[in-house]
Structure 1
């Protein structure tokens, strides 16, 4: 087996070379032709959102229907692993890890600012009213609730099923074996993996850009350091050095400690804001918002009543989640071996989304409550600069001098944790699915992520966050098509698997879908 591993790495260097080459070209062209790169991004954004914004909504609707179908169908009993495999983690450990996966830079960044922004400029009706507030909370629940985690569940299912049950490499392309057979080892399969790499790079770059912008805003809020694109770039460079060093040094205990700190600090902030931000108001707001969200779930999924608003918000979010599907999907897949498909889809879709809704209800509810008490202080801050939302909220609460610094620390921990995990996934995708990729490869992708995020910040200038959103939408578009085809491939594999288990499959079909492991052994 030791002699085969280098050969397995050799066959996948095409994915690495092409991905790294395109990333390098992108960085160089962006630095040399900054204005031109920005113009190209804007043009691509206009083309995709104008002509295909509806497709993002339809695609995510299909993912939800597909997920529900898996849960209620006989396929839900199929294990992510061999029939006699047991779960690697207890239910409590598994649930804890899924909850941990639901926390990140995005929630910290948007949980105050987004509700206030929709309140001030709603997609329908008059802003600044009680009706606008209720609509705002419903929209934020919609963007951060069930939909993103269904996307992650589909992405994770494609990885977990073909890795743990069929013994194929931990690659996105493996999920297409039922449709294209051994072509997953050729140009088609490599193209799929390359698209996954770029969806991950730009999806994570968007998150890193948001996180670094919020850190810069915090430094400005607390110490008066101006939050310029250069300041943000320096923050990204420092954070990149930290998580890259952690990655190549194998500081697993340090990263686990950081993850534990993130979870407990996040919970502490939620309790603190709930207690001092108006607990009764928050509970009333949560109850009303949850009811409105569930009541309008189907209609909101396909709503295009305000095309410009939908393209700027919902389409961006769906693209962002799709871009994160290889990354988060890999995480939820790796901790779910031995679970049935029904268990996997229900848990991954509902547990983290439930945590996200509670988080948003606390932060958003407290923001509206304290905004009213302070005569509009929070909406004034968000209206001037929406990256300041969290600090504007904390400023209305006790111990602001301490909580503001802890907030920056929480963002840093989320930043480093997400980037470290994404670096691992990128290395895995470009090393033939090696679940323990080379440290140098991990380090290289860590540096690449930092450089690409800095380039996007510099290209965008004062509109950096808009460029980050645009990059995410553009990178996610081809991967959205990949995920739609993936659903067809998964369904075909599950049908053959179920028929085989029931003794209904014929020999020809068994040979066609058959053992993907033989294909893997053949290429070694």
Structure 2
């Protein structure tokens, strides 16, 4: 059995690595053709199957909350005598930390301004457009995103901690295919999980490095070029790879603490100097509109081009991140009931995200109005500078601007470090302590993929990475739909067995 497992692990590793290398090689030697292929795939998936992304996320919501409120919600993620490894406060803090990703820093100002200028319905630049913009931002970063992560995390936590199966996505299909999870079908599922994670992380790495580069240009005039972006990626890759390989837990904990303190500090600072009353009014209105339009917005496709460009991209991006974030929330939730897990994972990070978005977005709108459209102009010129353009309208810019770059760096390093660990786990048979060599390989691979594509294709390669992420997420979305049924089947059998023993 050991030899078989090792062979299976190598198959997933070699196949995943080969796919990544082929993609990079194709992008390096045939950049124009790669762009054409990726764009055609993107157009095909969004035009033909955009509706399926929306329906799938709706199914995830029904499945997650349906399980939570049912009798199955009492089932524990672990053995009956297992107790939570962390206190409620520690657990809540880690779930909050999981919501503070590079995406929130990148999009918290750029996205609301972009929707304000070009809303999916009505005219841009109006009070109604502003309200619509904040509702959409809440929608894209709210419950829908975290339900996707909750489904992935529930599958991993339940089948690992309660059933003793490998910490792999394929284990969630045991109720349907039994021991064939160790065969070609299971390998294919795990390979797709790796593929989705690689391009989901690479997209974030590209976006984060691009924002740092444009920030350096905006602040100090250091020109943002593909070469500059590549150097930044290489720098961050070295840091998170060394941290992953050497197990510098104290250093990573210090980085995590710095991220939290900087995040909280920026929120308080922007709240105080960005217009407190304006932000609170904006938050209250946006939250009400979000709740009022929850169901309708979930399935809204009146403006198909806009939905494909924004909502479908977001849903695909969250699906691509489901193996990574799902693994994170699963590992810290052993001993919790399913009901506790789903409610906490879907609501706590969302609450933090809404506060973050309301502060940043509300301040941006307020300061844009006071400055005569300075932030709008910056976003129109280059949306990656939105955060710096907003900070420039407040005091202490000489201090907050470089600190913002530090925040971006530590936000991404923490996520990339964890993602590297997850990739190593997925390609080592679910080993929760994968080898240093394997962790180092995936750390270098993530950075190398992004650097090579940007050096050859320039910043246009970021668009290719985004569309590749959507393409990678499509088959994994189908896997997650089947996963919902498999989880339900396992929970039903588990509950019936428990009822007989009572």
TM class by smaller structure:
over 0.9
1:259 equivalent to 2:256? Answer: yes
Aligned to 1:14: 11
Aligned to 2:124: 127
Q: Deviations over 1:251-287 (max 9, x none)?
A: 1110111011101110000000000100111001000
Which one of 57, 61, 73 corresponds to residue 58 of structure 2?
61
Aligned residues: 502
1:33 equivalent to 2:5? Answer: no
Aligned to 2:197: 200
1:335 equivalent to 2:332? Answer: yes
State the Cα distance separating 1:357 from its structure 2 match: 0.5
- Residues 29 and 37 in structure 1, CA contact (< 8 A), matched pair in contact too: yes
Aligned to 1:358: 355
- TM-score norm. by structure 2 comes to 0.98
Q: Against the structure 1 CA distance between its residues 462 and 85, is the aligned structure 2 distance closer, same or farther, given a 3 Å change threshold?
A: closer
- Residues 35 and 459 in structure 1, CA contact (< 8 A), matched pair in contact too: no
**Aligned equivalents of 1:11, 1:480: Cα separation in 2:** 23
Which one of 132, 140, 144 corresponds to residue 143 of structure 1?
140
Which one of 95, 104, 108 corresponds to residue 105 of structure 2?
108
State the Cα distance separating 1:366 from its structure 2 match: 0.2
- Residues 423 and 445 in structure 1, CA contact (< 8 A), matched pair in contact too: yes
- Residues 80 and 340 in structure 1, CA contact (< 8 A), matched pair in contact too: yes
Map 1:124-523 onto structure 2 (within 5 A): 124-458=121-455, 460-503=457-500
Identify unmatched segments of 5+ residues in structure 2.
none
Aligned to 1:49: 46
- Residues 37 and 459 in structure 1, CA contact (< 8 A), matched pair in contact too: no
- TM-score norm. by structure 1 comes to 0.94
Give the 3-state SS of the residue equivalent to 1:339 in structure 2. coil
Moved beyond 3 Å, runs of 4+: 4-11
Identify unmatched segments of 5+ residues in structure 1.
506-524
Give the 3-state SS of the residue equivalent to 2:458 in structure 1. helix
- Residues 239 and 413 in structure 2, CA contact (< 8 A), matched pair in contact too: yes
Q: Against the structure 1 CA distance between its residues 120 and 151, is the aligned structure 2 distance closer, same or farther, given a 3 Å change threshold?
A: same
- Residues 56 and 318 in structure 1, CA contact (< 8 A), matched pair in contact too: yes
Give the 3-state SS of the residue equivalent to 2:500 in structure 1. coil
State the Cα distance separating 1:6 from its structure 2 match: 7.7
- Residues 195 and 472 in structure 2, CA contact (< 8 A), matched pair in contact too: yes
State the Cα distance separating 1:229 from its structure 2 match: 1.9
- Residues 221 and 391 in structure 1, CA contact (< 8 A), matched pair in contact too: yes
Q: Against the structure 1 CA distance between its residues 354 and 460, is the aligned structure 2 distance closer, same or farther, given a 3 Å change threshold?
A: farther
State the Cα distance separating 1:463 from its structure 2 match: 2.6
Q: Deviations over 1:71-127 (max 9, x none)?
A: 110000000001111111000000000000000110000000000000001111000
The CA RMSD measured in Å over matched residues stands at 1.3
